[in-house]
Amino acid sequence: AQSVSQHNHHVILSEAASLELGCNYSYGGTVNLFWYVQYPGQHLQLLLKYFSGDPLVKGIKGFEAEFIKSKFSFNLRKPSVQWSDTAEYFCAVKASGGYQKVTFGIGTKLQVIP
Amino acid sequence: GAVVSQHPSWVICKSGTSVKIECRSLDFQATTMFWYRQFPKQSLMLMATSNEGSKATYEQGVEKDKFLINHASLTLSTLTVTSAHPEDSSFYICSAPTGTSVYEQYFGPGTRLTVT
């Protein structure tokens, strides 16, 4: 079974600071990887996903993530955060192929201070 | 984009009673829906996969007799918490994949259940 760990549970940054949220997964086979975001009072939304190809994935709102297979990692980055990025971020993994379940990390609460 | 709704958004019930939560795909058909629960400061835990026209698939440790799932149509799945207890208080979220892309899951807004 797959599992996901997110190392930073609560991150506080000032606007314009750079962001990197760590995500590591464990699974013996090929995986699909995701980052979801939940803004205060809103639904979970897909931020970006990796299925195959270029390990550097670009998502919405200037976010990107890099899949490093040798490290089982899929860290989320943004060069300059804004106050509107305040949200909870979830890393998720699923075994590739078909209707496989998605396993979520515990989430990282990001607070951006103006 | 695809929209998934849940009803009710919050519910308070007495211990021992049953509560039904609805999950609807509003502008697309979903042969599969997923039910999650989320405890405070914890991640989403998949409870079960709801399949239209067949039995749900439950995750290990989830009591199928307690959490009854019915997926009677291509746009509606229901989760009934039977004989609810305070420890069932949680945030229940459903999601539905669109089309053939199972990874394009759209999440409902969630239902906050409080059992007193």
pLDDT tens-digit map of A46-81: 899 998 899 999 999 999 999 999 999 999 999 999
CB B46 within 8 A of CB B31: no
Indicate the range of A1-10, A85-94, B34-43 predicted with least confidence: B34-43
The helix/strand/coil state of B91 is strand
A39, B22, B23, B79, B92 from B71: Cα distances, Å: 29, 10, 9, 9, 16
- Say yes or no: B109 contacts chain A, CB-CB below 8 A: yes
- Say yes or no: B93 contacts chain A, CB-CB below 8 A: yes
CB B92 within 8 A of CB B35: yes
Is B103's CB within 8 Å of A107's CB?
no
Is A100's CB within 8 Å of B102's CB?
yes
Is A49's CB within 8 Å of B44's CB?
no
| A43 → closest Cβ in B34, B46, B108 | B108
Q: What is the pLDDT of residues A77-96, one digit of tens each?
A: 999 999 999 999 999 998 87
Let me know the angle formed at the C-alpha of B114 by B106 and B31, rounded to the nearest 5 degrees: 25
B34 CB neighbours in chain A (<8 A) are 101-102
Indicate the range of A86-95, A99-108, B6-15 predicted with least confidence: A99-108
d(CA A111, CA A11): 6
A45, B33, B111 from B89: Cα distances, Å: 24, 21, 10
Please report which confidence band the pLDDT of residue A44 belongs to, taking 50, 70 and 90 as the band edges. confident
What lies within 8 Å, CB to CB, of A75 at 6+ separation is: A20, A21, A22, A23, A65, A66, A68
CB B74 within 8 A of CB B83: no
B4 CB neighbours in chain A (<8 A) are 43
Q: Taking CA atoms, what residue in A is nearest to B60?
A: A1
Is B44's CB within 8 Å of A90's CB?
yes
pLDDT at A74: 97
Mutate to test the interface with B, among A30, A104, A106, A108 (most CBs of B within 10 A): A104
